[in-house]
């Protein structure tokens, strides 16, 4: 008898009919002899509506009240799903985050889970009852108020719960069939990946694959938890080929050179022109941005040969462009030497990344990427790399062309 | 500096605009130097939508899950109102029932408040901060799960909170201007009652005046709490003539013979024909109904002179007619003697009640009522009385005619 954590998000619990469908899936696992803890998101549109209410009252609202408001969506789904299970003769009950309790820090609206007290849930599971836990939420250890984990936080709820319960597997049901070699809307020949290692999934999540929240992959990796991403709209229970399973690197026998390609349109490019080329200048620029909680990603600095001036280019999330420019302008005020400095920004960029654990042991992977793009006449604006990832920033209009060319070049195209 | 509890229900918090209006009202009280604890209902339509979801899944659902689901409506309003107050520079925070905590028994979906721990709220109020409490909900002392108090339960939340906090006054803001001598939609000449004593309000609430939940009046009476019913859509703050105020009998100098008239279409009539006239028969009929939690109200038995058979007529809530007939049919199976018994039921009845504390010291009040109805040719089907109330069951088509005639006869018509 194994213990499963099953998570149903987004369109999986869109409406009553979808919730009934989810109840069928859970029933099948329970009747197959498994213990099940379930984590759910809000019904379609509910969270957005609640956020809109908050915005309507004030764009600058109290995050503690925001949390109390938006957490209700998951509370409703958990109750309804418990009812739907009971109707099928399955013993079930719902749990709000504070009831479990799922303890978080007090960073309202983007809290981190610190601890999950599983005593109550374990007792319930051992009595063959399904625990239906409201995702996305917890309770702050400091003020005893409801917290939420940020967008996509239900994934994190599920993986953290599975780790705390020492579950045999965590199944993340979603509206896609699994993790793909690239977004099939961009690359029609993209294929479903059957096995992917945590490190690769982490890189993919952080550069735009929206299947799993980054934080949830981190937790799974730390706990060496077997996580499966699969579709809630296909009757594949019991099948061997279900979705995509996340495993440790050593569990993948034959490592692909490149496992996946991602396209992210979430970033904008900022360029600082005529920056005096003096020691510590980068620290002085990025310090205030870090303080303002602006996440700077790719950075490139053109070394000046003769003018003693340099150009600095970097990317920030599109929604932070305004704040970034404000911080930079304030910095410019601090010194006479900076009076010539100019700021430029562009939204018309896309970040293309190739990710693969095989890159560690193979040279020339990045070089091949640059060559493929050069052959298509695509100019690379910024480059950044990690041990298992190469990202390039290119003009937005080249997104599909670049992704498809790279997908073919690394032999990822499906045969169909 | 006085302590007010203000309750806003129904259409008062219909949407964001209405919530902003409520925030203005509270701000005015705070700026006038009062401490304020606020109790809110769900936004318009929200509770009905949530109940519909539960019904869609199963008409026979777990009341504990129902409570977890429907309580979210008030949680959202409390958060939004706190934000709206903060926008006005007022310090405020929301409280869910379990946070206060408002302790109830474990009768889910119709729980009774057993205790309110006011320590947290008092501390907040003394710091000149407004406490916004989600109405209609509490936490069960037994299982630690969310409970709700039944329809209209937010009134009870407010009055119980005011009693626990020893508030100077509890203001119930609603969509009517106060308590009227009769429903103005039935009797256009109905007048607003300025002062009414608890006992009268209790009788009126129990026979169909939907302004306040019966339970809330009981609590106010016990605590001798000053409760005011007033409109949330009129700017009358500070005015002498606001709404209707509930007080003790001794605080009303000149007692009206009749204070109000109510019409209730909530009941149906059941008649049992050819019941053997033997001792204990009524107990044997009503015992099983009480066990089935069916609330029998008016009862009349026609004594049989010669046939040794009797007719028994009584009223039950319309929604319980089906269950009542089932219980009665089961009873009929128990004995051969009952095989001739026949059951009839009718939905076409209305209960008209006259209520007045002055009735205690005046004879002939009921007689006058019967005469007025007789003069209009209206047949009385059942009569029931209490110390300060006379109720009659009549044909539904006579509702308006009877109410208007009685309203005039007891000098309640307005002069306008």
> Mind telling me how many Å the CA of B61 is from chain A's nearest CA?
6
**Phi and psi angles of residue A113, each rounded to the nearest 5 degrees, phi first:** -70, 130
- Beta pairing class for A382-386 and A389-395: antiparallel
From A43, which residue of chain B is nearest by alpha-carbon distance? B53
Residue numbers in B near A75 (CB within 8 A): 68-69, 72
What span, in angstroms and rounded, lies between the C-alpha atoms of A83 and B69?
11
Residue B97: its pLDDT value, please?
A: 97
Starting at the earlier edge strand, list the strands of the sheet with B309-317. Answer: B299-302, B309-317, B267-276, B342-346
pLDDT in tens, chain B (416 residues): 799 999 998 789 999 999 999 999 999 999 999 999 999 999 989 999 999 999 999 998 999 999 999 999 999 999 999 999 999 999 999 999 999 999 999 999 999 999 999 999 999 999 999 999 999 999 999 999 999 998 789 999 999 999 999 999 999 998 888 899 999 999 999 999 999 999 999 998 877 667 888 899 999 999 999 999 998 877 555 554 578 999 998 888 777 789 999 999 999 999 999 888 877 888 888 999 998 888 898 998 877 667 788 889 999 999 899 999 999 999 898 888 888 899 999 999 999 999 998 888 888 889 999 999 999 999 999 999 888 999 999 999 999 999 999 999 999 998 76
Nearest one of B147, B164, B260 to B212, comparing CA atoms: B260
- Report yes or no on B340 lying in a domain: no
The answer, for B62 touching chain A at a CB cutoff of 8 Å, is yes
- Beta pairing class for A244-247 and A267-276: unpaired
> Is A75's CB within 8 Å of B69's CB?
yes
Taking a C-beta distance cutoff of 8 angstroms, is the pair B263, B211 a contact?
Answer: no
Q: Give me the mean pLDDT over the A23-41 stretch.
A: 96
- Report yes or no on A390 lying in a domain: no
Residue numbers in B near A53 (CB within 8 A): 16, 76, 80
For the stretch A362-369, contacts whose Cβ atoms lie closer than 8 Å and that sit 24 or more positions apart, written own/partner, are: A362/A257, A365/A257, A365/A258, A365/A390, A366/A390, A368/A409, A368/A410, A369/A406, A369/A409
> Is A83's CB within 8 Å of B54's CB?
yes
Residue numbers in A near B61 (CB within 8 A): 83, 86
From A56, which residue of chain B is nearest by alpha-carbon distance? B16
Q: Give me the mean pLDDT over the A220-227 stretch.
A: 95
The answer, for A51 touching chain B at a CB cutoff of 8 Å, is no
Shortest CB distance from A79 goes to which of B69, B79, B86?
Answer: B69
Taking a C-beta distance cutoff of 8 angstroms, is the pair A73, A42 a contact?
Answer: yes
Taking a C-beta distance cutoff of 8 angstroms, is the pair B114, B103 a contact?
Answer: yes
Q: Among residues of chain A, what percentage have pLDDT more than 90?
A: 72
> Mind telling me how many Å the CA of B336 is from chain A's nearest CA?
39
- Report yes or no on B283 lying in a domain: no
* Alpha-carbon separation of residue A10 from A72, A264, B111, B255 (angstroms): 15, 21, 33, 62
Q: Give me the mean pLDDT over the A332-361 stretch.
A: 91
Report chain A's mean pLDDT, rounded to a whole number.
91
Residue numbers in A near B66 (CB within 8 A): 79, 83
Q: What is the DSSP letter of A71?
A: T
Q: Could you give the angle at which helices B63-70 and A72-87 cross, rounded to 10 degrees?
A: 160
Taking a C-beta distance cutoff of 8 angstroms, is the pair A33, A65 a contact?
Answer: no
Q: Could you give the angle at which helices A321-332 and A281-291 cross, rounded to 10 degrees?
A: 130
Return the sign of the alpha-carbon dihedral for residues B25, B26, B31, B34.
positive
Q: Give me the mean pLDDT over the A393-415 stretch.
A: 94
> Is B68's CB within 8 Å of A78's CB?
yes
CA dihedral A200, A201, A202, A207 (to 10 degrees): 90
Q: What is the DSSP letter of B180?
A: B
Residue A67 has pLDDT above 90, yes or no: yes
From B91, which residue of chain A is nearest by alpha-carbon distance? A62
Q: Could you give the angle at which helices B63-70 and B72-87 cross, rounded to 10 degrees?
A: 20
What span, in angstroms and rounded, lies between the C-alpha atoms of B282 and B303?
12
With cut-offs at 50, 70 and 90, classify the pLDDT of residue A304.
Answer: low
> Is B83's CB within 8 Å of A61's CB?
yes
- Report yes or no on B75 lying in a domain: yes
> Is A80's CB within 8 Å of B94's CB?
no
Q: Say how many Å lie between the first and final Cα of chain A, rounded.
A: 39
Shortest CB distance from B69 goes to which of A16, A57, A80?
Answer: A80
**Phi and psi angles of residue B205, each rounded to the nearest 5 degrees, phi first:** -65, -35
> Which of A82-91, A143-152, A281-290, B392-401 is least confident?
A281-290
> Is B145's CB within 8 Å of A99's CB?
yes
Residue of B13, B21, B49, B57 to mutate for A, most A C-beta atoms under 10 A: B57
- Report yes or no on A131 lying in a domain: yes
> Is A62's CB within 8 Å of B54's CB?
no
Residue B240: its pLDDT value, please?
A: 45
Q: H-type helices in B127-257, by residue range?
A: 153-165, 198-206, 214-223
With cut-offs at 50, 70 and 90, classify the pLDDT of residue A358.
Answer: confident
- Report yes or no on A126 lying in a domain: yes
Taking a C-beta distance cutoff of 8 angstroms, is the pair B97, B138 a contact?
Answer: yes
**Phi and psi angles of residue B121, each rounded to the nearest 5 degrees, phi first:** -65, -45
Shortest CB distance from B69 goes to which of A76, A93, A99?
Answer: A76
> Is A61's CB within 8 Å of B86's CB?
yes
> Is A69's CB within 8 Å of B79's CB?
yes
What span, in angstroms and rounded, lies between the C-alpha atoms of A349 and A264?
9
What span, in angstroms and rounded, lies between the C-alpha atoms of B320 and B330?
16
Residue numbers in A near B78 (CB within 8 A): 68
Cβ atoms within 10 Å, residue A268? 19
CATH number, residue B164: 3.40.1160.10
> Is B62's CB within 8 Å of A86's CB?
yes
Q: What is the pTM of this model?
A: 0.85
Return the sign of the alpha-carbon dihedral for residues A243, A245, A251, A257.
positive
With cut-offs at 50, 70 and 90, classify the pLDDT of residue A119.
Answer: very high
> Is B76's CB within 8 Å of A53's CB?
yes
> Is A57's CB within 8 Å of B99's CB?
no
The answer, for B66 touching chain A at a CB cutoff of 8 Å, is yes
Q: What is the ipTM of this complex?
A: 0.84
Structural domain total, chain B: 1
- Report yes or no on B146 lying in a domain: yes
By the 10 Å C-beta count (0-12 exposed, 13-18 middle, 19+ buried), A300 is classed as middle
Peptide bond just before A101 cis, omega within 30 deg: yes
Shortest CB distance from A69 goes to which of B64, B69, B76?
Answer: B76
What span, in angstroms and rounded, lies between the C-alpha atoms of A246 and A249?
9
> Mind telling me how many Å the CA of A220 is from chain B's nearest CA?
30
The answer, for A150 touching chain B at a CB cutoff of 8 Å, is no
Question: Cα–Cα–Cα angle for B73, B75, B81, nearest 5°?
Answer: 105
Taking a C-beta distance cutoff of 8 angstroms, is the pair B407, B187 a contact?
Answer: yes
- DSSP-assigned beta bridge partners for residue A342: A273
Return the sign of the alpha-carbon dihedral for residues B157, B163, B168, B169.
positive
| Residue B85: domain span | 3-175
From A60, which residue of chain B is nearest by alpha-carbon distance? B87
What span, in angstroms and rounded, lies between the C-alpha atoms of A346 and A339?
22
Which is more confidently placed, A374 or B177? A374
3-state helix, strand, coil in chain B (%, to 5): 40, 25, 35
Shortest CB distance from A87 goes to which of B57, B82, B146?
Answer: B57
The answer, for A361 touching chain B at a CB cutoff of 8 Å, is no
From B75, which residue of chain A is nearest by alpha-carbon distance? A69
- Report yes or no on B82 lying in a domain: yes
Residue A147 has pLDDT above 70, yes or no: yes
Residue A242: its pLDDT value, please?
A: 74
With cut-offs at 50, 70 and 90, classify the pLDDT of residue A135.
Answer: very high
Residue of A72, A94, A96, A120 to mutate for B, most B C-beta atoms under 10 A: A72
């Amino acid at each position: 008898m194994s213990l499963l954590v099953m998570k149903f998000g987004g369109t999986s619990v869109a409406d009553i009919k979808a919730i009934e469908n989810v109840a069928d899936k859970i029933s099948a696992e329970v009747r197959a002899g498994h213990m099940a803890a379930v984590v759910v998101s809000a019904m379609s549109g509910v969270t957005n509506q609640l956020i809109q209410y908050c915005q309507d009252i004030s764009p600058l609202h109290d995050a503690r009240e925001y949390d109390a408001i938006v957490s209700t969506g998951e509370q409703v789904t958990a109750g309804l799903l418990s009812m739907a299970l009971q109707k099928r003769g399955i013993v079930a009950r719902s749990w709000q985050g504070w009831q479990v309790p799922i303890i978080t820090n007090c960073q309202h609206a983007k809290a981190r889970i610190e601890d999950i007290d599983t005593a109550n849930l374990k007792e319930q599971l051992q009595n063959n009852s399904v625990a239906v836990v409201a995702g996305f939420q917890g309770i702050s250890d400091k003020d005893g108020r409801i917290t939420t984990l940020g967008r996509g936080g239900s994934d994190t709820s599920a993986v953290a719960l599975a780790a705390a319960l020492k579950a045999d597997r965590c199944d993340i049901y979603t509206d896609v069939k699994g993790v793909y070699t690239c977004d099939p809307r961009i690359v029609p020949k993209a294929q479903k990946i059957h096995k992917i290692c945590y490190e690769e999934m982490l890189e993919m999540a952080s550069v735009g694959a929206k299947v799993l929240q980054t934080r949830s992959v981190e937790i799974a990796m730390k706990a060496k938890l077997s996580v499966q991403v699969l579709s809630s709209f296909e009757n594949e229970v019991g099948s061997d080929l279900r979705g995509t399973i996340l495993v440790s690197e050593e569990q993948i026998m034959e490592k692909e050179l490149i496992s996946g390609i991602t396209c992210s349109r979430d970033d904008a490019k900022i360029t600082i022109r005529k920056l005096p080329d003096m020691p510590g200048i980068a620290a002085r620029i990025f310090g205030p941005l870090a303080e303002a909680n602006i996440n700077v990603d790719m950075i490139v600095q053109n070394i000046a040969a003769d003018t003693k001036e340099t150009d600095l280019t970097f990317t920030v999330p599109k929604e932070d462009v305004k704040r970034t420019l404000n911080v930079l302008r304030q910095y410019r005020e601090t010194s006479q030497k900076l009076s010539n400095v100019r700021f430029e920004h562009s939204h018309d960029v896309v970040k293309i990344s190739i990710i693969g654990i095989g890159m560690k042991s193979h040279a020339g992977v990045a070089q091949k990427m640059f060559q493929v793009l050069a052959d298509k006449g695509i100019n690379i604006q910024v480059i950044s790399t990690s041990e298992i990832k190469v990202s390039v920033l290119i003009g937005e209009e080249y997104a599909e062309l670049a992704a498809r060319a790279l997908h073919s070049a690394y032999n990822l195209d499906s045969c169909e």
